[in-house]
Amino acid sequence: MSHQSLLQYLFVALPAVQGRLLAQIQLCDYFRQLKLVPITFDGGGSAAYIEQFRQDTAFVTLGDTFANSTNRAPGDIKVSWKWCSGYQYLERSTLRDEYNQVSSQVNFYMSQHNARHGFMLTNTELVAAKRLDGNGRLAVSRSIPWTAAGHSQLTVLTVVWSGMLATEEALGPVA
């Protein structure tokens, strides 16, 4: 390749490369503006005990000490024969009560740690929850089965990985 053809190639290719670099720089700036913090997923004992309550799981800030580690997305783990998302629609009040009890338990943990997100996990499904306000109202996702797979299919592992919703530095109190 001659110098002239190389210069012509660079003249054509350089704007595309510059465009990609600019997009990467803008993306980095965007992430900096979000004020994300590194978190880790661990057992509930890695988050601070508040009034002697301990969750089953915790998303905590990496490097925090036990005394000040806030659980950014408390989770509760149950076996599927004790709890399932379908219980909320049943006529039998005992099973519906069990659904409500576990949901309110996660809501309580979220309130204690001032967390916006939480979840219920069984051996068959995951249900995500988001606190809507300080009055105990929750938005609850549809059940995501462990068997879910395939292109553009939401899976349990994808949802757990996206616990990065809990990485935002200053979530502020839930109103």
Domain ranges of the chain: 1-34, 37-167
What is the DSSP annotation of 93-131? HHHHHHHHHHHHHHHHHHHHTT-SEEEEE-SSEEEEEEE
Q: What is the pLDDT of residues 84-113, one digit of tens each?
A: 999 998 888 888 899 999 999 999 989 988
pLDDT in tens, 13-67: 555 555 565 565 565 566 567 666 777 777 777 787 787 777 788 788 777 776 6
Select from 160, 110, 109 the least CA-distant residue to 131. Answer: 110
Number of alpha carbons in the 13 Å side-chain half-sphere of residue 17: 6
Give per-residue pLDDT as tens, 122-163. Answer: 999 999 998 888 888 999 989 989 888 877 778 877 777 666
Question: Does this model's pTM top 0.85?
Answer: no
Residue 152, amino acid: S
Domain 37-167 sits in CATH at 3.90.1570
Q: What are phi and psi of 104, to 5 degrees?
A: -70, -30
Q: Quick one: pLDDT at residue 49?
A: 78
What DSSP character marks residue 143?
Answer: P
Determine the residue type at 11.
F
- Output phi, psi for 12, to 5 deg: -80, -45
pLDDT of residue 84: 92
Q: Is residue 7 scored above 50 in pLDDT?
A: no
DSSP annotation of 38 reads -
Three-state DSSP at 118 gives: strand
